[in-house]
């Protein structure tokens, strides 16, 4: 009797532990992921929609890529009629909600490509969250005049 109780507590403990240890990345789905490639060595903006199916908000803290030496989380905003970019530490994805990285707003700034990235290429980015978890996502490279991921999701914006 005593041993079966011990087994039950152990099982309950394991279940609780695995629930508590579910990472931020496990609750995030990335979609409409694309990169706007600019000519020359100009930095490229990466855009993605992040959906959180979890009960807790998750914070995107940045990303990395083997294709670019530097990736930073930026926000574009208009100030006095001028577009400017600022670095941000993190972007919250609300519980059961979405965060949208899109032109003229939040984006990942990709700098110093290790080799030229052309429209049509697929680039892997590793999205990083504030709890240390990561989510790999495929971004499609699009030309400078693209407005969206090219799958129809950008229509109407
Ligand atoms: Cu930027």
Query: Per-residue pLDDT tens for 76-133?
Result: 998 888 889 999 999 999 999 999 999 999 999 999 999 999 999 999 999 999 999 9
The pLDDT value given to residue 41: 80
The tokens describing 65, both together, are 């890529």
Using the mean position of ligand 1's atoms as its centre, give its distance from the Cα of residue 76 in Å: 7
Residue 116: C-alpha distances to residues 104, 111, 125, 126, 142 (Å):
24, 11, 16, 19, 13
Using the mean position of ligand 1's atoms as its centre, give its distance from the Cα of residue 152 in Å: 24
Using the mean position of ligand 1's atoms as its centre, give its distance from the Cα of residue 77 in Å: 10
Using the mean position of ligand 1's atoms as its centre, give its distance from the Cα of residue 108 in Å: 7
Residues surrounding ion ligand 1 at CB below 5 Å: 74, 85, 109
Using the mean position of ligand 1's atoms as its centre, give its distance from the Cα of residue 132 in Å: 23
The pLDDT value given to residue 35: 97
* pTM attached to this predicted model: 0.82
CA atoms within 13 A on the CB side of 154: 18
The pLDDT value given to residue 149: 85
Main-chain dihedrals φ then ψ at residue 42, nearest 5 degrees: -60, 145
Q: What is the DSSP letter of 132?
A: S
Q: Looking at per-residue confidence, does 1 or 110 come out higher?
A: 110
Using the mean position of ligand 1's atoms as its centre, give its distance from the Cα of residue 131 in Å: 24
User: If residue 143 lies in a helix (H) or strand (E), which one and from where to where?
Assistant: none
Using the mean position of ligand 1's atoms as its centre, give its distance from the Cα of residue 110 in Å: 8
Q: Do 122 and 136 form a contact (C-beta atoms < 8 A)?
A: no
The pLDDT value given to residue 17: 56
Using the mean position of ligand 1's atoms as its centre, give its distance from the Cα of residue 109 in Å: 5
Residue 90 Cα to chain centre, angstroms: 10
Using the mean position of ligand 1's atoms as its centre, give its distance from the Cα of residue 26 in Å: 27
The tokens describing 73, both together, are 């989380």
Domain 25-142 in CATH: superfamily?
Answer: PCu(A)C copper chaperone (2.60.40.1890)
Burial of 103 (0-12, 13-18, 19+ CB in 10 A): middle
The answer, yes or no, to whether residue 157 has pLDDT greater than 50, is: no
Domain layout of the chain by residue ranges? 25-142
- CB count, 10 Å around CB of 34? 25
Convert the pLDDT of each residue in 23-72 to its tens digit: 999 999 999 999 999 988 889 999 999 999 999 999 999 999 999 999 99
5 pLDDT band (50/70/90 cuts)? low
């Amino acid at each position: 009797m005593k041993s079966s109780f011990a087994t039950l507590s152990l099982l309950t403990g394991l279940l609780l532990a695995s629930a508590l240890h579910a990472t931020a990345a496990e609750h995030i789905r990335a979609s409409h992921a694309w990169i706007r490639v600019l000519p020359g060595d100009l930095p490229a903006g990466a855009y993605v929609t992040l959906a959180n199916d979890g009960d807790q908000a998750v914070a995107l803290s940045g990303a990395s890529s083997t294709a670019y030496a530097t990736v930073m989380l930026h926000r574009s905003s208009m100030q006095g009629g001028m577009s400017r970019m600022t670095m941000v530490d993190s972007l919250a994805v609300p519980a059961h909600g979405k965060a949208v990285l899109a032109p003229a707003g939040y984006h990942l700034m990709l700098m110093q490509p290790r080799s030229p990235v052309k429209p049509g290429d697929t680039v892997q980015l590793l999205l990083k969250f504030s709890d240390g978890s990561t989510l790999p996502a495929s971004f499609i490279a699009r030309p400078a005049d693209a407005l969206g991921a090219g799958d129809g999701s950008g229509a109407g914006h």
